Amino acid sequence: MKTKAAGGYWSNAQLAEVVEMVRKAHGLDLYPYDGNFLANSLDRRMTATSIPTLPAYAELLGRDPAEAEVLFRSLNVVYSEFFRNSLAFSLLEHLILPGFLDALEKSGRSEIRIWSAGCATGQEAWSVAILVAELAGTDGKPIPGRIIASDVSAFDLAKARAGIYRPEAMGNLRLKHVYNYFTRQGDVYIIVDRLKEGVEFVVHDLLDECTIYPPESIFGDFDLVLCSNVLMYYRPEMQRLILSKILRSLTEGGILLTDGTERQLVESIGGFHRIAAPAAVFRKN
Ligand SMILES: C[S@@+](CC[C@H](N)C(=O)[O-])C[C@H]1O[C@@H](n2cnc3c(N)ncnc32)[C@H](O)[C@@H]1O
């Protein structure tokens, strides 16, 4: 079997050799990543280093820890946007979060429990926090939600926690969200403190074998988990591992939101059913 990348073909055996060599030479683990994604990433590094063949590039990787590090880092894609998946966020706003808030009132519970897994620079977590605040009409009070936002990258989490965004990042936001949930300082926009009180950013690796969910959440039991644009970068066995953890972290009837491109893989793995086609929003079976 061959894995196609933009600039050529690699056999799975060649990819496996590179993975093993980088692990042995530099202690970096490329194994969890999806084959096509890895092949494309190798291809991009070959172009950037002007090395035309895989054996020559593999040789460079073996002897140069800096190049191995650059390749490894390139596998961690951190791009994010506010309200990135408009269809899914619309379902959250009009169906799922109102239902959760209603259930809170009836049950006497004080908060909705939400986990943004692979939150990058925070836009996903802040988007859901904005919706909870708006729907609950908190009017200056803390939101009735506990949002745990986790990522493997402490560097990006620090940006997420600071909640400072340049105007280019604000495109998907409604004007009322910008006015109500950000303050402007010079040419940046900063998340307001009352929203910050409801969101905790923590380092957590979804592939970690010792944890199911971030220990800071104390117990899982999340009503909602957002894990979008994360699964697609991993090989099927890692996707299954992550989804099985999410399944165990969700409360009975809890909801999972992924990116639309990850819809089929969630359906193929099982444990969830889609609640409204074509959005990638699922309920735990
Ligand atoms: C493309 S961003 C997606 C951000 C956000 N979820 C969104 O959809 O806009 C992927 C994020 O997942 C994080 N990530 C990748 N693998 C992870 C893992 N094993 N554990 C935790 N976070 C991970 C990356 O660090 C990155 O910040």
Assess whether pLDDT exceeds 60 at residue 2.
no
| Model pLDDT, residue 1 | 57
- Among the atoms of ligand 1, which is closest to the Cα of residue 227? 6
180 and 59 housed in the same domain:
no
- The Cα 44–Cα 33 span in angstroms is 16
For residue 181, is it within any domain?
Answer: yes
For residue 31, is it within any domain?
Answer: yes
- Among the atoms of ligand 1, which is closest to the Cα of residue 116? 6
125 and 45 housed in the same domain:
no
CA distances from 110 to 100, 102, 141, 143, 145 (A): 11, 11, 13, 10, 8
Cα 117 to middle of ligand 1, angstroms = 7
Task: Tell me the best of 72, 74, 86, 151 to mutate to test the pocket of ligand 1, counting ligand atoms within 8 Å of each CB and taking the most.
Answer: 151
- The Cα 110–Cα 28 span in angstroms is 43
35 and 157 housed in the same domain:
no
* Residues 97-123 pLDDT 10s: 999 999 988 888 889 999 999 999 999
Q: What is the CA radius of gyration of the chain?
A: 20
For residue 36, is it within any domain?
Answer: yes
Domains in the chain: how many in total? 2
183 and 280 housed in the same domain:
yes
| Model pLDDT, residue 4 | 58
| Model pLDDT, residue 269 | 85
Is residue 252 a contact partner of residue 262, using CB atoms and an 8 Å limit? no
* Residues 120-140 pLDDT 10s: 999 999 999 999 999 988 666
Segments forming the whole domain that contains residue 38: 2-74
Percent of the chain with pLDDT over 70: 96
Assess whether pLDDT exceeds 60 at residue 210.
yes
Structure tokens at 108: 């006497």
For residue 227, is it within any domain?
Answer: yes
Structure tokens at 147: 């949002």
Decide which of 41 and 5 is more confident.
41
For residue 125, is it within any domain?
Answer: yes
Assess whether pLDDT exceeds 60 at residue 79.
yes
Task: Tell me the best of 86, 152, 204, 259 to mutate to test the pocket of ligand 1, counting ligand atoms within 8 Å of each CB and taking the most.
Answer: 152
Mean pLDDT of the chain: 93
| Model pLDDT, residue 55 | 87
For residue 80, is it within any domain?
Answer: no
Of the residues 25, 49, 74, the one at which a domain ends: 74
- Spell out which residues line ligand 1, taking CB within 6 angstroms: 76-81, 84, 118-120, 123-124, 151-153, 156, 205-207, 228-230
Of the residues 53, 74, 95, the one at which a domain ends: 74
126 and 178 housed in the same domain:
yes
Side chain identity at 187, as an amino acid letter?
A: D
- Among the atoms of ligand 1, which is closest to the Cα of residue 238? 19
Ligand 1 atom 3 nearest Cα:
229
Ligand 1 atom 12 nearest Cα:
118
49 and 183 housed in the same domain:
no
149 and 218 housed in the same domain:
yes
- Alpha carbons within 13 angstroms on the beta-carbon side of residue 205 total 7
For residue 253, is it within any domain?
Answer: yes
36 and 163 housed in the same domain:
no
| Model pLDDT, residue 54 | 85
Is residue 195 a contact partner of residue 162, using CB atoms and an 8 Å limit? no
Of the residues 74, 106, 136, the one at which a domain ends: 74
Q: What is the mean pLDDT of residues 87-92?
A: 95
| Model pLDDT, residue 153 | 96
40 and 124 housed in the same domain:
no
18 and 159 housed in the same domain:
no
Percent of the chain with pLDDT over 90: 84
Residue 181 belongs to a domain with what CATH number? 3.40.50.150
CA distances from 81 to 33, 45, 61, 124, 267 (A): 23, 26, 33, 7, 25
Task: Tell me the best of 150, 165, 230, 237 to mutate to test the pocket of ligand 1, counting ligand atoms within 8 Å of each CB and taking the most.
Answer: 230
Q: What is the mean pLDDT of residues 80-97?
A: 96
Cα 77 to middle of ligand 1, angstroms = 7
Side chain identity at 164, as an amino acid letter?
A: I
33 and 169 housed in the same domain:
no
Structure tokens at 188: 């940046």
Q: What is the mean pLDDT of residues 218-230?
A: 95
| Model pLDDT, residue 143 | 80
102 and 223 housed in the same domain:
yes
SS3 for the chain is: CEEEECCEEEEHHHHHHHHHHHHHHHCCCCCCECHHHHHHHHHHHHHHCCCCCHHHHHHHHHHCHHHHHHHHHHCCCCCCCCCCCHHHHHHHHHHHHHHHHHHHHHHCCCCEEEEEECCCCCHHHHHHHHHHHHHHCCCCCCCCEEEEEEECCHHHHHHHHHCEECHHHHCCCCHHHHHHHEEEECCEEEECHHHHCCEEEEECCCCCCCCCCCHHHCCCCEEEEECCCCHHHECHHHHHHHHHHHHHHEEEEEEEECCHHHHHHHHHHCCEEECCCCCCEEEEC
pLDDT grade, residue 240 (50/70/90)? very high
* Residues 25-77 pLDDT 10s: 999 999 999 999 999 999 999 999 999 888 899 999 999 999 999 999 999 99
Give the residue among 123, 126, 120 at the shortest CA–CA distance from 143. Answer: 126
| Burial class for 204, CB neighbours closer than 10 Å (0-12, 13-18, 19+) | buried
For residue 223, is it within any domain?
Answer: yes
Ligand 1 atom 26 nearest Cα:
78
| Burial class for 140, CB neighbours closer than 10 Å (0-12, 13-18, 19+) | exposed
